């Protein structure tokens, strides 16, 4: 499954390391993951530990379980044998995918070492590694499905790693996602624009909007805010308003798109 991110040759997996025929070797951490990040890729560290911590606290209360369940329903219709969760963070969805698809071999990667360490400690049945999305340590055509939840996409690499007619499932925030939270934090609302993949490498085969309502209190309102990119882009006044909010009803709204690999 794994190939060397330096020379692309197959990696032999050992208990504490993995090594390619050229001699490039990568250590396995105590919690079980491999670190395939190259020295020149370590400048960008992925999500900030504060964001990771807030996400874990919020997601552990299963507020987004309806989304995890819907993702699993879609995965089951494709019944993959091998799946990669790209930009998996601390592995909340990856863990749910494994639980519902125990026979499927699941891989997860993220550029954040902190996130992968947490994910790896939680579930030893998933093959986790630290890697940049731009240079994946997986062999060509080695998986049937890739999931990407709120994470960056590399069309070239996903196309290379997916087998013939492989499936790419992308979940992103709907422009009206958590609009009530933004209304508290900002004086002026700017909705982001949703963009589907536009490449001959992938064909959109299913598009759906999925939403549910959340009744929140503190500290979960603050955790939700801090796990989103708004947590970093908001003025101190906006943050104070979020922290002062005792109750909030929010609409969690998502776009789920399924693509099929084209030749
Ligand atoms: C919004 S989080 C989503 C995490 C997870 N999929 C979830 O929904 O809980 C986006 C993730 O993408 C990761 N990421 C960002 N840039 C990346 C890159 N270039 N390569 C790999 N992962 C990256 C971040 O570290 C972060 O964990």
- Name the nearest CA neighbour of 241 among 191, 187, 173, 176: 187
Cβ-count burial of 58 within 10 angstroms (0-12 exposed, 13-18 middle, 19+ buried)? buried
H or E stretch including 241?
helix 236-244
For a substitution probing ligand 1, which of 70, 89, 109, 136 has the most ligand atoms within 8 Å of its CB?
A: 89
**Ligand 1 centroid from CA 102, angstroms:** 24
Token readout for 80 is 């993959």
Atom of ligand 1 nearest to the CA of 132: 20
**Ligand 1 centroid from CA 197, angstroms:** 18
Token readout for 196 is 């589907």
- pLDDT at residue 182 is higher than 80: yes
Could you write out the DSSP letters of every residue in 4-42?
-TTT-PBPEE-SSEEE-TT--EEEBPTTS-EE---GGG-
Contacts 24+ apart (CB under 8 A), 228-234: 228/178, 228/181, 230/181, 230/182, 230/185, 231/50, 231/51, 231/54, 232/48, 232/51, 234/185, 234/186
Please answer whether residues 13 and 21 qualify as being in contact, where contact means their C-beta atoms are separated by less than 8 angstroms.
no
Runs of H (alpha helix) within 65-125: 65-78, 92-100, 113-122
Question: How much is the mean pLDDT over the chain?
Answer: 94
Among 88-92, 125-129, 186-190, the least confident range: 186-190
- pLDDT at residue 44 is higher than 70: no
Atom of ligand 1 nearest to the CA of 148: 6
Atom of ligand 1 nearest to the CA of 46: 25
The pLDDT-based confidence of 38 (bands split at 50, 70, 90) is confident
pLDDT at position 168: 98
pLDDT at position 35: 95
Task: Compute the CA torsion angle 122, 132, 162, 18 (nearest 10 deg).
Answer: -70
The pLDDT-based confidence of 232 (bands split at 50, 70, 90) is confident
Tally of CA atoms within 13 A in the half-sphere of 163 that contains its CB: 10
Span 48-73, mean pLDDT? 94
The share of the chain scoring above pLDDT 90, in percent, equals 85
Atom of ligand 1 nearest to the CA of 133: 20
**Ligand 1 centroid from CA 89, angstroms:** 5
Domains, the chain: 12-261 (3.40.50.150)
H or E stretch including 220?
helix 220-227
Atom of ligand 1 nearest to the CA of 227: 1
Q: Is 102 helix (H, G, I), strand (E, B) or coil?
A: coil
- pLDDT at residue 261 is higher than 80: yes
For a substitution probing ligand 1, which of 5, 43, 46 has the most ligand atoms within 8 Å of its CB?
A: 46
Q: Which tens digit of pLDDT belongs to each residue from 63-100?
A: 999 999 999 999 999 999 999 999 999 999 999 999 99
pLDDT at position 127: 98
Span 30-39, mean pLDDT? 92
Please answer whether residues 180 and 228 qualify as being in contact, where contact means their C-beta atoms are separated by less than 8 angstroms.
no
Which residue's CA is minimally distant from atom 15 of ligand 1? 46
Q: How far apart are CA 256 and CA 228, in angstroms?
A: 18
- Name the nearest CA neighbour of 115 among 54, 40, 168: 54
The pLDDT-based confidence of 43 (bands split at 50, 70, 90) is low
**Ligand 1 centroid from CA 21, angstroms:** 31
**Ligand 1 centroid from CA 262, angstroms:** 25
Q: CA dist 197 to 134, 172, 222, Å? A: 17, 12, 32
> pTM score, two decimals?
0.96
Which residue's CA is minimally distant from atom 10 of ligand 1? 151
CB under 6 Å to ligand 1: residues? 46-47, 55, 87-89, 92-93, 110-112, 115, 132-133, 149-152
Atom of ligand 1 nearest to the CA of 92: 9
User: What is the Rg, in whole angstroms, of the alpha carbon atoms belonging to the chain?
Assistant: 19
């Amino acid at each position: 499954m794994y190939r060397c991110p330096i020379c692309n040759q197959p990696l032999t997996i050992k208990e504490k390391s993995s090594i390619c025929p050229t001699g490039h070797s990568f250590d396995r951490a105590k919690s079980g993951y491999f670190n395939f990040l190259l020295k020149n890729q370590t400048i960008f560290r992925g999500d900030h530990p504060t964001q990771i911590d807030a996400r874990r606290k919020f997601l552990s209360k299963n507020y987004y379980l309806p989304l995890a369940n819907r993702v699993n329903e879609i995965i089951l219709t494709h019944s993959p044998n091998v799946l990669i969760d790209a930009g998996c963070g601390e592995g909340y969805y990856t863990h749910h995918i494994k639980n519902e698809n125990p026979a499927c071999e699941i891989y997860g990667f993220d550029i954040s070492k902190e996130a992968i360490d947490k994910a790896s400690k939680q579930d030893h049945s998933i093959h986790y590694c630290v890697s940049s999305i731009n240079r994946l340590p997986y062999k060509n055509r080695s998986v049937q499905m890739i999931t990407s939840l709120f994470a960056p996409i590399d069309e070239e690499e996903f196309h290379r790693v997916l087998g013939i007619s492989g499936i790419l499932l992308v979940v992103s925030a709907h422009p009206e996602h958590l609009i009530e939270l933004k209304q508290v934090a900002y004086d002026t609302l700017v909705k982001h624009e949703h963009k589907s993949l536009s490449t001959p490498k992938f064909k959109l085969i299913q598009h759906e909007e999925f939403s549910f309502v959340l009744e929140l209190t503190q500290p979960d309102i603050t955790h939700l805010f801090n796990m989103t990119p708004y947590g970093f882009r908001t003025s101190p006044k906006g943050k104070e308003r979020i922290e002062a909010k005792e109750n909030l009803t929010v609409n969690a709204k998502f776009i789920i798109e399924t693509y099929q690999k084209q030749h």
